[in-house]
Amino acid sequence: MHRWRPQGRLIILEENVAEGQPTHLVAVIGAGPAGLFAARELALNNMHVVLFNRDIKPGGLAEYGIYPDKHRMKDGLRMQFRQILGMPRIDYIGHCGVGAHADLSLDTLRALGFSAILVTVGAQGTKKLGLPGEEARGVFHAKDLVFHYNRLPPFSLREFEVGRRVGVVGAGNVMADIMNWLVRKRQVEEAVAIVRRGPAEVKFDRKEFEPIVANLDQAALAVEMARVTPVMQAVGQDPEQARAFLLSALPKALPPVSTTRMRFEFMASPSAILSDASGSVTGVRVDETTLVRSGSDTKAKSLGTSRVIPLDTIIFAIGDKVDDDFGLPVEGTSFVKAPSPRFPQEGHSYEAFDPQRGVIIADAFVAGWSREASTGLVGIARKDGVNGARAVLQYLQTLPPSGLPDTGALQSHLASLPTPLVRKEDLARLEAVEQLEAERRGLEEYKFASNEEMLAAMGVADAVTSLR
């Protein structure tokens, strides 16, 4: 999972809606940036869009993936999302799962009159390395922790037993965010970033390192740089440039609030999780690697030797994958896309594909992290959602006119679901209640920790959802 932040300025939404009545009913599954901006594109082109969201609140990783203290960033994004949801041709159905074993299946949506389905649910599955001992107590995935400290139910209520010595596998912005939480919130004794390649390949932004760089053990970094310097030089990398980047956050470093010792272990590829008789983590065995050239890039190559890093907690920040049980074919970390799409956008396929039958799933499309898991910032997801919507629009042009979409069957089906569903008006009430609670507590922001609390605050605990 990559760190989420917006690209460029806030968008001014233009309501240049096509004339006439909506011509098709389109389902967009997932209300993160890709889904929201896809819904906007479809609505602006005369479609009646129903935006289904597993969570109560919209925003996806823009709401629950950005570090909690980025209030200004989140407020800007929420303003954009509010504008989108305010569009009259977009209905919002929150607290409603879609999938093979969820409230609604894709076949159910088809039966209820949707002409096309655009899946933008992101990467809800967990990517694992399949290492021996990976199920030990004290092994976590970064996404679960990010959801926990951002208060996304049910992760917000889960207890995470984080020990004194914590290893974070990864070298991107998610690793930096997890380190931020470990260093400044949990204040662990030692936090170790475990990196398969070298210091020249780290992917985090300098700004994301500013909250934790004051805790960086610079003496340990000097020793580690001396160890990897010959390998870096052998592949044409500049060790001093890499070291300078790692220390470039120091001028704007936040004052430390803990004595946590933060350090790096480079050229180390986890090969096994070690645990004691009770099943608790005691360390990670890493294969020692070297760097080899691969075109203009480098790859890590095992040296055939290993060492053990003593730890009592391990967190994997290595990306994510889509949900295998959603109802679309999966290959690797993403849903399968048509190799020869009918409606390509900027050279990419957005059309779901059944590799067993060798056919395109005609009415199903994917965008955002559903198309390519764990890729991109908010601005990239936004663009991908728009492109996915444009592929859908081209497909809809091949269908005979459906007339004014009939939502009667959909309304009846939603009313029959046992799950309390959430509408746009409900979101406005929830936002107002949480804002009042934040003011009462003297906080920048307040979030209810459970779905039950949010539903009660909105007054929809026993309500059903109807469409206009």
| Residue 405 confidence (pLDDT) | 76
Alpha-carbon distance of 245 to 225, in angstroms, equals 12
pTM for the whole structure: 0.88
Alpha-carbon distance of 341 to 343, in angstroms, equals 5
Contacts (Cβ under 8 Å, ≥6 apart) of 196: 171, 267, 268, 269, 289, 300
Alpha-carbon distance of 48 to 137, in angstroms, equals 47
What are the beta bridge partners of residue 292?
A: 299
Counting beta carbons within 10 angstroms of the beta carbon of residue 46, is it exposed (0 to 12), middle (13 to 18) or buried (19 or more)? middle
| Residue 22 confidence (pLDDT) | 76
What is the CB-side half-sphere exposure of residue 273 using CA atoms within 13 A?
Answer: 26
The three-state secondary structure class of 403 is coil
The DSSP symbol for 461 reads: T
Check if the beta carbon of residue 316 is closer than 8 Å to that of residue 169: yes
Q: Which two tokens stand for residue 80?
A: 């954009």
Alpha-carbon distance of 275 to 281, in angstroms, equals 4
Alpha-carbon distance of 402 to 22, in angstroms, equals 10
Q: Give φ, ψ of 42 to 5 degrees.
A: -65, -45
Q: What is the 3-state secondary structure (H, E, C) of 234-266?
A: HCCCCHHHHHHHHHCCHHHCCCCCCCCEEEEEC
Alpha-carbon distance of 115 to 141, in angstroms, equals 37
134 sits in which H/E element: none
In angstroms, what CA-CA distances link 73 with 5, 63, 87, 163, 375? 7, 10, 23, 31, 19
What domains appear along the chain, each with residue ranges and CATH number? 25-124+321-458 (3.40.50.720), 139-316 (3.50.50.60)
Q: Which residues of 241-258 are buried (b: 16+ CB within 10 A; e: fewer)?
A: ebbeebeebeeebeebeb
| Residue 19 confidence (pLDDT) | 56
Alpha-carbon distance of 181 to 190, in angstroms, equals 13
Give me Rg for the CA atoms of the chain.
24
What is the pLDDT tens value at each position of the chain, 468 positions in all?
Answer: 333 333 333 333 334 445 567 789 999 999 999 999 999 999 999 999 999 999 999 998 888 888 888 888 888 999 999 999 999 999 999 999 999 889 999 999 999 999 999 999 977 777 778 899 999 999 999 999 999 999 999 999 998 999 999 999 999 999 999 999 999 999 999 999 999 999 999 999 999 999 999 999 999 999 999 999 999 999 999 999 999 999 999 999 999 999 999 999 999 999 999 999 999 999 999 999 999 998 888 999 999 999 999 999 999 998 788 888 899 999 888 899 999 999 999 999 999 999 999 999 999 999 998 998 777 678 889 999 999 999 999 999 999 876 777 888 999 999 999 999 999 999 999 999 999 999 999 999 999 999 999 999 999 865 444 454
Backbone conformation region of residue 251, classed left if phi is above 0, alpha if psi is from -120 to 50, else beta: alpha
**What pairing do the DSSP bridges indicate for beta strands 297-310 and 281-294?**
antiparallel
